[in-house]
Structure formats: C-alpha cells, structure tokens
Amino acid sequence: MLTDRRSAILGLVIGEYIETAIPVSSRALVKRHDLAVSAATIRNELARLEEDGYITHPYTSAGRIPSDRGYRHYVEVLMSEEPVGTDEQRTIEHQLHQVRGGLDEWLSLTATILAGAVESFAVVTRPRGNDSRLKHAQLVELHGDLVLLVAVMDDGRVRQSVLSLTQPRTQQQLNVIAEQINQLLNNADGKSALDTAKTLEHTDEAMIVNAIAELIGEQRIAEETYLGGLQNVLQQPEFSEVGRLREAVDRLNAYDVRELVDMAGNAEIGETRVLIGEEHGDAAMRDWSVVVTSYGDDEATGTIAVLGPRRMQYQRSIPRVRYVASLMSSLLQDVR
C-alpha cells in the first residue's frame, strides 16, 4: 500500500509526464509544485516508488517516468475524470445530427470526432448482432431479367445483390413481389429465410429469398471498421524520431481490431476497459494504451476505442469514450 504522500507524489509524476513527455526529476517537482518538503525527501520517496515498481528510469541519468503499474494505480485510484461539458456534448451531437446518409456516415464521423476530442487514434466498428435479421427488402428493375436486390438489416446495414430472374418483370411487378417477401420474412434471420425459401420451391421468389438469406449471413462475416486520428498519434513526442514514427505506423496498420471487439464483447455495454502497455499480452503493444467500450443493445453491439501512447490523457479519454458510446447507442435506435 502506498502512503498518502507517496501516492500524491506518484500522481504529480504521472501528471507532469503526461503533460510534458519529459522524465520528471525531484528538483522539478519541488520547483513546479511548491512542495513543503526538500528535494532530498522527494528523491527518497521517488526511490521507494521505483523499488515498488510504480516508476522507472528510462536511462541512467534521467528523471523518472511511470511504469505500467504506476499508470494502473493512477487510472484506478488517483485520477479525476474530466467530464464532457455541456458545450462539448452539444457540439458532438450537432455534428452527428447533421449527417444525412445514415449509419455508415455516423460511424465514420464518430471516429473522426472522438479522435479529435482525445488526440488519439480512434476505432469504431459497425454494430453486429448474434442473429442478424431482415428489416425490409426492395427489388429494383435494371435491364431485361436483371434486378437489384437491396436488403436492409436490423442494425442499419444495407446489402445489395444483382439477380437474374427467369423472366423480365416491370417495376410494379417487382414491388408486389418485394411486398410479399417482406411479409414472409418479417424480422427473419438467415436460418428462417432459408426455411422459407424451401417452401417456395423453384420460383423467382425462392431465388430472391435464398439471396436474402446469404446477405443476412454476410452480417456475421463482414465487419466494417472506421478509423480516425492517425495524425494525432504521430504528432506525439514519443514518435518524433523517424524510426519510432515508422514503428507506430506499422503497429497501427497491423493492429487486429478483433482484439478490441473481444475486449469490449466480454464487458457490459457501456463498461469502459483500459489496457496499459504489457497488459495487452502483446509485446508489440508494450508502448501503447487502449480505452475500449461497446455500444448498442441486446440485438446488436459495436465497439468504440481509442489507442495512444501509454502517456495518454486517461482523465479525458475515458469519459469521452463512454459518452460517445452512449450517444451511438441512442443513434442506433433511430436508424432501425
């Protein structure tokens, strides 16, 4: 257990390092914070914090920087979250409500907005359901016997397929067929659609319903991810050297978003998780932190996350990830 003074000093070290990216010395702490103790006392406390694994030396003559354990203590014990103010909420909501194109545009814009708000790399995944269902289908006349099948899913995804019917149909005839199919497949999942197709025997309607079943099935396979803010990360002092910059770009390009989905999927919707450095279990992520949560409801969930250096502004990032997730949960209801 840390003493109150030692815990307070750790908080100062982490606060200084998050702000400046410069290793923190005892002399700097005494000077900047007008502490009522000597530099020697601070040095002794820093030595104890280092012995206990909360801070470390980046090299021999430097000041101290936080370790993974130090950051974890900061996030769970010392940190005071910076709440999302009314004006900031209003700005974010206004930006998202200006979008006219639907869920895809919302998700893309959400990644951009979140990245800017926390100055990190943002990841947003399209919501997916365990059992995707059809909301409605449309048939559009193309040319001759070719028609465009448009299937809208319950999570807002729109899938399309071009079909060749046994004979040409007018748009009016296609509208009638689509209406009949929508009645047959009311809120159907892929298995229900396949079962329905079997009852229609060898007809155009059976072919259309089979195609719809395939499009519903694609919901479980295709996972669309929206990214934003790569430049925010690359402008951080950690990546001022060309070698570190290239390493960061390679790391983010290779990052498996499924890891984020798994992290968020094991938690309750809206529950925020933070992984710091080696807590990832991936050596390539030792210099990175992730704040991740899920959004949606019991029918479909997506993932929202920010990635940045371990020197992330956790006090700002965590509440904004949480707020954006709650906002997207509400917006998801509107597109259904």
Q: What is the pLDDT of residue 286?
A: 87
Q: What is the pLDDT of residue 127?
A: 83
Same domain, 93 and 240: yes
What is the pTM (predicted TM-score) of this model? 0.73
Same domain, 124 and 59: no
Same domain, 161 and 103: no
Same domain, 92 and 234: yes
Domain region containing 14: 4-78
Same domain, 228 and 329: yes
Q: Which of 198, 221, 244 is the last residue of a domain?
A: 221
CATH number at residue 176: 3.30.390.60
- Which stretches of the chain are DSSP H helices? 4-20, 26-33, 39-51, 68-73, 86-97, 103-118, 171-184, 190-199, 204-221, 230-234, 242-254, 257-265, 314-334
Number of domains making up the chain: 3
Same domain, 243 and 230: yes
pLDDT tens, position by position, 236-248: 888 888 788 888 8
- Of 7-16, 23-32, 127-136, 149-158, the range with the highest mean pLDDT is 7-16
Q: What is the CB neighbour count within 10 angstroms for residue 242?
A: 8
CATH number at residue 73: 1.10.10.10
pLDDT tens, position by position, 127-185: 876 567 899 999 999 988 999 999 998 867 788 999 999 999 999 999 999 999 999 99
Same domain, 322 and 202: no
- Give Cα separations from 1 to 5, 7, 42, 48, 128 (angstroms): 12, 9, 18, 12, 43
Residues pairing with 276 in the sheet: 289
CA–CA gap between residue 134 and residue 157 (Å, rounded): 10
Q: What is the pLDDT of residue 24?
A: 92
Strand 225-228, strand 158-164: pairing: unpaired
Same domain, 304 and 202: no
Q: What is the pLDDT of residue 266?
A: 67
